[in-house]
Structure formats: structure tokens, C-alpha cells
A = this chain, B = another copy of it.
Amino acid sequence: MTEPELHTLPARRGRAVRLKKGESIRIINTHGQQVVDTWAFNADDLREFMSMEHLRASLERIFPHAGDMLVTNRRRPILAFVEDSSPGIHDTLMAACDSYRYGLLGCTTYHDNCTDNLHGGMGLIGLTPPGCPSPLNLWMNIPVVEGGRTQWGEPVSKPGDYVVLRAEIDSVVAMSACPQDILPINGAACSPTEAHYQVLR
């Protein structure tokens, strides 16, 4: 069996891929400190999508682990979380970054952001998402501490860590290499990097 083609998720950019039911995607944290905001849509009806608020109710846990089934806003499986070589720290709590966020962080000119990257990545394959659902933020480290307070942690993953997600229905998976370079979400260097992905057919 030949190794599946390795695709680049460029730094600060978005990409989207179609997966048939049963196909999987391996998302690779090539340099080890990069958060990848991840969405999944029903390929036949983009109004059905992976939903963090429905996922938390389904899992009865705020963070998913390998072995979990990820569900949609219609509470049915869309992706199986099959493998995770990293310590399993991912986030379901925080919205994708957007122009408004960077404005509040002091930016006075356009800043790349995950919300626009969702639209850009899906646009490259001819699709328009119905808004920006709350993403599964792979490798984003948001500890919930005393009093329900959250912290903006650094990823605890290492170079080459990956997750494998298997489509339970015909799906579109979108990813954004988070361009956050003001908070240390993508590591203390605040230097967002590329990531990679492979489709496993």
C-alpha cells in the first residue's frame, strides 16, 4: 500500500476536503504547537454540522478523546475520533477567531482569522458554509480551573502528533491553521505554522 498523499494546510490558511462515508482524514501537527480549528458538515446538507454544544451533551464531557463519536446539531454521528497520538488536549469551548476578535486585541488592519479561513477553505472546493459553527479546536489547550475560569494555554502536543477522524456519513471536513499570534495559543513563540493532512481511503 502506498502512503496517502500528504497535503499542506498552509500557515494561517484554511482548507476543506470531501470524505465519503468510511474514509478518514489524518491531521498532522507537523511542527507540534499548531492549533487546527476543525469543522465537519453533512456533504448532502451543509446545515447539518458537527456541533460542540451537542457534542458536550452527548459525551457528558467538555473535551473529546480518541474513541468518542462526534455528533452534529441533529445529534447523530458525523466523525469518529479514531486515533490521537497526542496527549489528548483539545478544545470545544472557544469560538473561532475572527476580525472582531483581532480588533479587540488591538489590530487596526486585517488579521488572518479562522472564521474567514473556514469560508476560504470551503470556497476553494466550491462550497459556502452556513455561518461559522463553533469549531473543534484540535490541540488548543484551554484549562478550566477553579470557579469555571479558563486559561489560554500552550499546546502540549509534539511535532508529528496526529489525529485520525473517520467520516460516519458523507462529509466535508474544513480546517484552519489558526493564525493567532497575539496570545500563545500556538505556542510561546506566537508564530503560527503550517500543518498537514492525508485522506485515508
* Cα A63 to Cα B149 with chains together (Å): 8
Min distance, Cβ A118 to any Cβ of chain B, angstroms: 13
B61 adjacent to A148 (CB under 8 Å): yes
A62 adjacent to B94 (CB under 8 Å): no
Choose among B60, B131, B150 the residue that contacts A56 (Cβ–Cβ < 8 A).
Answer: B150
When A73-B95, A95-B73 are in contact, do A101 and B57 touch as well, CB less than 8 Å? yes
Asked if A201 CB lies within 8 Å of chain B CBs, one says: no
Min distance, Cβ A98 to any Cβ of chain B, angstroms: 7
Tell me which residues across on chain B come within 8 A of A112, comparing CB atoms: none
Tell me which residues across on chain B come within 8 A of A62, comparing CB atoms: 93, 144, 148, 150
Q: Who on chain B is nearest to A59 by CB?
A: B150
Asked if A75 CB lies within 8 Å of chain B CBs, one says: yes
Interface residues of A in 26-48 (CB under 8 A from B): 47
* Cα A134 to Cα B56 with chains together (Å): 12
Interface residues of A in 143-176 (CB under 8 A from B): 144, 147-152
B148 adjacent to A57 (CB under 8 Å): no
* Cα A193 to Cα B144 with chains together (Å): 32
B76 adjacent to A150 (CB under 8 Å): no
Asked if A24 CB lies within 8 Å of chain B CBs, one says: no
Contacts A/B (CB < 8 Å), 28 sampled: A47-B131, A51-B95, A53-B93, A53-B95, A53-B134, A54-B95, A56-B94, A56-B95, A56-B150, A57-B95, A60-B150, A60-B151, A60-B152, A61-B147, A61-B150, A62-B93, A62-B144, A62-B148, A62-B150, A74-B100, A75-B100, A75-B101, A75-B103, A75-B104, A76-B100, A131-B131, A134-B134, A144-B144
